[in-house]
Amino acid sequence: MASLPMWVDSKRSWGFGRRLPIPPRLPWSGGEAARQWARRLLPLSGDASEPRNLLEISLRERPLYAPTWLDLGELLASSGDREGAARSIRVARALWPERATLQQRAAWMQVALGPPDAAFAALMHYWAIAPQDGLRTLGLARRLEPAPEALVDAAAQVWSSGPNDALVYQRGLLDLARRAGDPALAQALWARLDDKSRALEDLLFPYLQMLAAQGRHAEADAVWEQALGEPPGLVNGRFEEPLVPLGPDFRPGWATPGWRYHATGDGFRIGVEGPNGDATHQSLRIDFLGTANVALGQPSQIMRVRPGTSYRLHGYWSGDGITTRSGVFVELYTIATSPGVRVQTPPRWGSWTREPFELEIQVPEDGLLVGMRVRRAATTALDRLLSGTLRLDTLEFLPLGQ
């Protein structure tokens, strides 16, 4: 009968006639080998003494290697030594305070081990260095801390001293509140923010959407006005102020009032000229150069509105020799609503003298923003090269009844 290999211990069986492997005699450089043998033996043996001995051998050689401390913590926890396990987790976290993978493992171990305050602290430390894992981490923290104000207080300590910008953490906490349908947490966060943070689009718009979706329209209006003042409606509708084209010096956000446009594009040119016809105010002028099948979606504005309210856009326009049957039109549309709402004037082409036009839009209960733009859709028709001139003036956008 052949002799057994040297790594087989014939005195200890672990089922079905197989033998539990044992490590060879370890050299002085065997710290990692001892750790790997301990991890291999732990699930195979009901006796934790030998894996623990191997882990202690590894730690004697490499006492600053944090993963081994967590291995020891797992072993101690499985053996019922909760105090020893907690001590090992603390040592591991202190050794590698900025290693996200290790801090995640330590936090999850602490959640399983308890107590809640230690688990909460471990989770918040992990979130500080890995905010991209915020939904899962903060979700666990929220279960451990039922008081939303206490969670926000802890989060405030993170965003005031963490390695990332404060907005990263604030946005993550607000995202959790929105996804979990947790208005108490969102309100606690909002109460903690300063005025400058409340005006940031990345925080203000999601918070307003959350309020509007819950039917809290009066509260949403109050937040609007506190952060940005009264909704200004359509800005510079008489074109008395200079138009600033989009570019490196002008990158508007969703709440930035005023016109957005590129002064020139493929086949068109946009500018302002003096009063048109019997108008008393300046006009927006769009020249189509006859060189391109223009797909136009500008100039545009994004206007703050009140949820559940009807609005009317009123203005004047005229056309001069606008070619192709794919005419130009004015469009209103809601932003980030479900479902979206879109209304438009009939497309116009040819020539017509200055005349009024109107559009009405009913803002949904979750609507906060309405866009307005001049449109022309590209066409596959033979007469697709667009030429001519469009003028608009005296534009107003007001709630119905005003």
Q: Say how far apart CA 326 and CA 5 lie, in whole Å.
A: 85
Angle between helices 100-113 and 66-78 (to 10 degrees): 20
- pLDDT tens for residues 337-372? 888 999 999 999 999 999 999 999 999 887 888 999
Strands 328-335 and 369-376: antiparallel
pTM of the model as a whole? 0.67
**Quick check: 369 and 304 in contact, CB under 8 A?**
yes
Q: Say how far apart CA 179 and CA 206 lie, in whole Å.
A: 11
Diameter of the chain measured on Cα atoms: 114
- pLDDT tens for residues 106-157? 999 999 999 999 999 999 999 999 999 999 999 999 999 999 999 999 999 9
Q: Say how far apart CA 58 and CA 68 lie, in whole Å.
A: 8
Q: Say how far apart CA 224 and CA 210 lie, in whole Å.
A: 13
Any bridge partners for residue 375, and if so which? 297, 329
Radius of gyration of the chain (CA): 33
Write out the chain's pLDDT in tens, 402 residues.
343 333 333 333 333 334 444 444 444 444 565 666 566 656 555 566 777 877 888 888 889 999 999 989 988 998 889 999 999 999 999 999 999 999 999 999 999 999 999 999 999 999 999 999 999 999 999 999 999 999 999 999 999 999 999 999 999 999 999 999 999 999 999 999 999 999 888 898 889 888 877 878 778 878 888 887 777 788 899 999 888 777 666 566 666 778 888 877 889 999 999 887 777 889 999 999 999 999 999 999 988 888 889 999 999 999 999 998 889 999 999 988 888 999 999 999 999 999 999 999 999 887 888 999 999 999 888 778 899 999 999 999 999 976
Structure tokens at 9: 């211990």
